[in-house]
């Protein structure tokens, strides 16, 4: 089984809008946290999203939410969370989030060619030559859909954010469906058992029922079809940095965004329970970027334009490779094949 480690990235270019105004960005995130706190009421998450265990150990408090570790499978999740409706309201209307992180004119083409395309190529190495339907769930600005269409797949993208859907059309000429997979299936039941690939890039950690979503993905895939999944890794250097600087968090262990983080065993468990078999893993992350941004936020005047800042930026890919080789990267990508026979329940 392939286990790939590392992926060079031009962080100065990719994270330009955020790096350019780090303190302002953190303020915006704190603003969203307090907006949600005053407009929505969180509900208690009584059990693990993956294995259902009610045993959990507190890990870290971030922006008034406690992340706990499931004693059974190792999933890390917030003990309180907003409802599906509240999350949907947030993504449907919050323009800042979509604009600064994804729908950004300065970074969108870099994102398409250097972030989305390598993931598609990674999956294609393990898939046959046949190019059927590829469904991308949570498409963002449609960068991955644009890549798969160009490579001969019949690419379909589902995305909730109106800002992102409009942006995808404008910059890549891609038509995304503004809906969820479950909703789309109510009008397109013919999808069941016919889809070749489903990608869930940065999706499972946002949804309140990741097991239900994986079960639906399993259902629409052809026998032997594959799911390409990217999730944040709780066992990462970025998590360790954030446990030391919990007040600075604006990504990764960000409770308004990620209500859970996986580990390789927790993701394995989720896949196996839903009739999937992993066939390839890829570990790469932004952990050194996370360390650098925390140093800048904590010691802004001394860090800004310091030799340390420029050296960390210049050597970031080499430093990150060491972390990726140790599988301590803050994201995990897994390609998993649909098993022909379902596990007995
Ligand atoms: Zn669990």
CA of residue 47 to ligand 1 center, whole Å:
8
Range of the domain at 107: 2-338
CA of residue 67 to ligand 1 center, whole Å:
13
The string of pLDDT tens digits covering residues 221-260 is: 999 999 999 999 999 999 999 999 999 998 999 998 899 9
The arrangement of strands across the sheet holding 65-70 comes to 56-62, 65-70, 76-78, 260-261
Higher per-residue confidence, 343 vs 70: 70
The owner of tokens 């955020």 is: 18
CA of residue 266 to ligand 1 center, whole Å:
7
Within-domain flag for 88:
yes
Within-domain flag for 344:
no
pLDDT at 99: 63
Beta strands in the chain (DSSP E): 2-5, 43-44, 56-62, 65-70, 76-78, 80-81, 133-137, 154-158, 195-201, 221-232, 260-261, 276-283, 331-338
CA distance 29 to 73: 30
The string of pLDDT tens digits covering residues 29-51 is: 888 888 888 889 999 999 999 99
Within-domain flag for 345:
no
CA of residue 281 to ligand 1 center, whole Å:
21
Within-domain flag for 241:
yes
CA of residue 312 to ligand 1 center, whole Å:
36
CA of residue 324 to ligand 1 center, whole Å:
25
CA of residue 300 to ligand 1 center, whole Å:
39
Name the residue among 93, 96, 143 with its Cα closest to residue 120.
143
CA of residue 216 to ligand 1 center, whole Å:
20
Name the residue among 275, 255, 278, 252 with its Cα closest to residue 265.
278
CA of residue 72 to ligand 1 center, whole Å:
5
CA of residue 5 to ligand 1 center, whole Å:
26
CA of residue 269 to ligand 1 center, whole Å:
9
CA of residue 270 to ligand 1 center, whole Å:
9
pLDDT at 88: 76
**Side-chain half-sphere of 329: how many Cα atoms within 13 Å?**
25
Q: CA 65 from chain center: how many Å? A: 19
CA of residue 40 to ligand 1 center, whole Å:
26
The string of pLDDT tens digits covering residues 91-120 is: 666 666 666 665 677 788 988 999 999 999
- String of b and e for 226-250 (b: at least 16 CB within 10 Å)? bbbbbbbbbbbbbbebbeebeebbb
pLDDT at 21: 81
For residue 320, the domain's CATH number is 3.40.50.150
Within-domain flag for 332:
yes
CA of residue 71 to ligand 1 center, whole Å:
7
Within-domain flag for 218:
yes
CA of residue 74 to ligand 1 center, whole Å:
6
Within-domain flag for 80:
yes
In percent, the amount of the chain with pLDDT more than 90 equals 74
Within-domain flag for 175:
yes
Domain count, the chain: 1
CA of residue 334 to ligand 1 center, whole Å:
19
Q: Looking at residues 274-299, what average pLDDT do you find?
A: 95
Q: CA 44 from chain center: how many Å? A: 23
């Amino acid at each position: 089984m392939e286990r790939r480690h590392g992926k060079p990235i031009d962080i100065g270019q990719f994270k330009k809008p955020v790096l350019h105004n780090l303190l302002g960005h953190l303020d915006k995130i704190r603003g969203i946290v307090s907006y949600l706190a005053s407009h929505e009421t969180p509900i208690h998450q009584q059990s693990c999203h993956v294995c259902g265990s009610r045993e959990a150990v507190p890990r870290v408090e971030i922006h008034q939410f406690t992340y706990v570790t499931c004693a059974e499978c190792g999933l890390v999740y917030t003990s309180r969370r907003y409802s599906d409706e509240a999350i949907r309201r947030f993504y449907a209307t919050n323009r800042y989030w979509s604009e600064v992180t994804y729908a950004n004119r300065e970074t969108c083409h870099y994102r398409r060619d250097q972030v989305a395309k390598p993931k598609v190529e990674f999956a294609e190495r393990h898939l046959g030559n046949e190019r059927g339907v590829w469904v991308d769930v949570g498409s963002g600005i449609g960068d991955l859909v644009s890549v798969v269409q160009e490579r001969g797949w019949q690419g379909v993208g589902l995305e909730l954010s109106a800002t992102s859907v409009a942006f995808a059309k404008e910059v890549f000429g891609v038509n995304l469906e503004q809906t969820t997979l479950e909703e789309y299936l109510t009008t397109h039941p013919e999808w069941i058992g016919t889809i070749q690939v489903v990608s869930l890039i940065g999706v499972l950690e946002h949804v309140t029922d990741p097991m239900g979503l994986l079960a639906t993905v399993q259902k629409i895939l052809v026998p032997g079809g594959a799911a390409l999944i990217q999730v944040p890794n709780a066992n990462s250097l970025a998590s360790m940095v954030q446990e030391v600087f919990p007040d600075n968090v604006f990504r990764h262990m960000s409770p308004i965004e990620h209500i859970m983080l996986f580990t390789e065993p927790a993701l394995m468990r989720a896949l196996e329970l839903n009739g999937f078999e992993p066939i390839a893993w890829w570990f790469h992350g932004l952990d050194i970027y996370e360390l650098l941004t925390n140093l800048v936020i904590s010691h802004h005047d001394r860090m800004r334009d310091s030799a340390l800042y420029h050296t960390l930026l210049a050597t970031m890919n080499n430093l990150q490779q060491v972390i990726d080789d140790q599988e301590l990267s803050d994201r995990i990508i897994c390609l998993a094949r649909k098993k022909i026979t379902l596990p007995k329940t």
